[in-house]
Amino acid sequence: MANQKLLLLSSSREGQTDYLEHALPLIDSFLDSSIKKVLFIPYAGFAMGYDAYEDKVNKPFKTIGKTVVSIHRFDDPVQAVQEADAIAIGGGNTFHLLKALYDNELIDAIRKRVGEGVPYMGWSAGSNVAGLTICTTNDMPIVEPRSFKALALVNFQINPHYTDYQPPNHNGETRAERLFEYVRANPHRYVVGTREGTALQLKDNRLTLMGDKPGLVFRDGEKTRSIQCNTDISWLL
């Protein structure tokens, strides 16, 4: 992980902000000014159509002088990853995203490029697949991927959109209870819950929670711990 550059956003919006509006300063700071074109992987947002998703992401990116080009426009998606200057994976359904990554043989290709230092950013599902598996996604399993194993760009699980909110009179499990089930079944793994508006950033071998809301770390047999923003949490690596 020595060369990796990661920006893993919890969400594409914070509150009532426009799409990616809150994230643009982070993205602009994260990407080198020499990078003008970003390879976009839209598979999680299949329901809106890949052309529409590309257009949606391009609007905010163009305000910081970047252009995204969707991988569905390339005849050879593996080659597109191999030639990318930066990679971004958007949100949507995590199961559909991972299935498409496997179907297009992109897992190893992305992992290799990121290991070579190509910046990787994702939001929501795009952050979830950066973890070890997608077992801590919030999404419904609408399709069955080849495996639940994900990109493993970090050595822990990610739960984007983390919230403590429980609707009145709702008797289903809280998010914390569901994550507790995961760590009880997988006691050797950490899960990091990131709240909307925050992001995990790995740069210069330093992992930091960016934003203004604390995150949570879950592990079986350990008290749930809070992680503060803008502090070094590289021990998770």
Is 161 annotated in the active site? yes
Is 226 annotated in the active site? no
Marked catalytic residue, from 139, 164, 212, 226: 139
Is 139 annotated in the active site? yes
Marked catalytic residue, from 28, 85, 161, 220: 161
Q: How many residues does the chain have?
A: 237
HEC string of 160-214 equals CCCCCCCCCCCCCCCHHHHHHHHHHHCCCCCEEECCCCCEEEEECCEEEEECCCC
Marked catalytic residue, from 10, 11, 124, 127: 124
Answer yes or no: are the C-beta atoms of 128 and 158 closer than 8 Å: yes
Q: What does the angle CA 103 – CA 113 – CA 68 come to, to the nearest 5 degrees?
A: 75
| Rounded Cα–Cα distance for residues 65 and 228 (Å) | 31
Catalytic residues: 124, 139, 161
